[in-house]
Amino acid sequence: MFVAIYLIWYGSSGLYEPDGVSTNFGDIGVGVAVEDSRKPGDYPFPDAEVIGVGVYAAPELGTVATSTVYTLFFPRQFANRSFALMLEDSATLSGVRSSVATRQTPIRSCKETGGEGEYSYSKEHKCQVIYGIVPDHQSDANKPSPTCHPYEHEIFDFDSNAAIIVRVSGSADLVERQDWAHSVVQLPTTVGVGPPSVIETWNGMDLRERFGTALQTGCKVAATPSLATVGGVSDAPTSSDQFFLRWEDSDAVQSVSFVATSRSRDRFVNLWIALGGLLGGIALSRLGATLSKRH
């Protein structure tokens, strides 16, 4: 009987529709080495530079780790400078792959602090820094997939060579499984680490070099999980089709999430409930037969 009740409960749990809200937040920040006498807190670059951050994710139902690519668009004057890709919480990567990365820190616990007096705060995070060198040329092999075209800013115009493009890929934990039929996919923010400034530390981590942060803009592309439907989108995508959801420019800065629901949900709900009902009927029948024998 208990097995029957469990099967009915397990199957019917798939009928619940999550609201798409996730606590699985992550953030992506980029810094470029400062080559002059500017000190921490100074404005880092003489021109109002903008760095582009593209996020491509290919989530799948039932797995937390998601194949992820971060595409960084650097202004050409940053060629040959070192950069720091600062990743927080779900944006951190395992199995990092990049032709320009020189070293990386392990994913570790770090602490964000801020405010003063009664408004001070301290928050624990997972943190990771990936270091590399911005190359001095752009090869076609490094150009990203044309699924994301936020041409609102010239740095993303792939054909004008306005930017040098760097790709860093790996697996990020972007999926929260809600139940057997639903998962919430949360794409990280590209806000960065704060207003443009020179920094030497980040979330308590010594960067071992002075890096300048810049304004960040970006785009996000999520491949629709196979064998799933998409709903509960927190922020409407700039565009979408049966294969991709795309957020571009101002739509892409904040974190966005959506719910992926198994296409076979209804069939399995009916199967589990029917199986539970069958086993429940058998159990009741046997119980009735046992009681009748006793009397």
Q: What is the pTM of this model?
A: 0.79
Tell me the two tokens of residue 40: 């921490």
Task: For residue 169, list its beta bridge partners.
Answer: 69, 97
Packing angle, helices 2-12 and 265-294, rounded to 10: 160
Contact (Cβ atoms closer than 8 angstroms) between residue 257 and residue 270: no
Q: Which among 71, 28, 56, 21 has a CA at the least distance from the CA of 222?
A: 56
**How many whole angstroms separate alpha carbon 68 and alpha carbon 188?**
11
Tokens 């592309």 correspond to: 221
Nearby residues of 292 by Cβ (< 8 Å), 6 or more positions away: none
Tell me the two tokens of residue 168: 């860093």
Instruction: Kindly report the backbone phi and psi dihedral angles of residue 62, in degrees, each rounded to the nearest multiple of 5, phi listed first.
Output: 85, -5
**How many whole angstroms separate alpha carbon 33 and alpha carbon 122?**
27
The pLDDT, as a whole number, for residue 23 is 61
| Cα–Cα–Cα angle for 194, 201, 132, rounded to 5 degrees | 90
CA distance between the termini of the chain: 22
Contact (Cβ atoms closer than 8 angstroms) between residue 167 and residue 93: no
**How many whole angstroms separate alpha carbon 54 and alpha carbon 156?**
10
The pLDDT, as a whole number, for residue 279 is 41
In tens digits, the chain (295 residues) has pLDDT values of 443 333 343 344 444 455 555 566 789 999 999 977 788 888 888 776 788 888 999 988 777 888 999 988 888 889 999 999 999 999 999 999 998 988 999 999 998 777 777 777 778 889 999 999 999 876 544 555 544 554 455 555 555 566 788 889 999 999 887 776 778 899 998 888 888 999 999 998 999 999 999 988 878 899 888 767 888 888 888 888 888 888 887 777 778 888 888 745 444 444 444 444 444 444 445 444 454 555 5
The pLDDT, as a whole number, for residue 137 is 75
The pLDDT, as a whole number, for residue 2 is 40
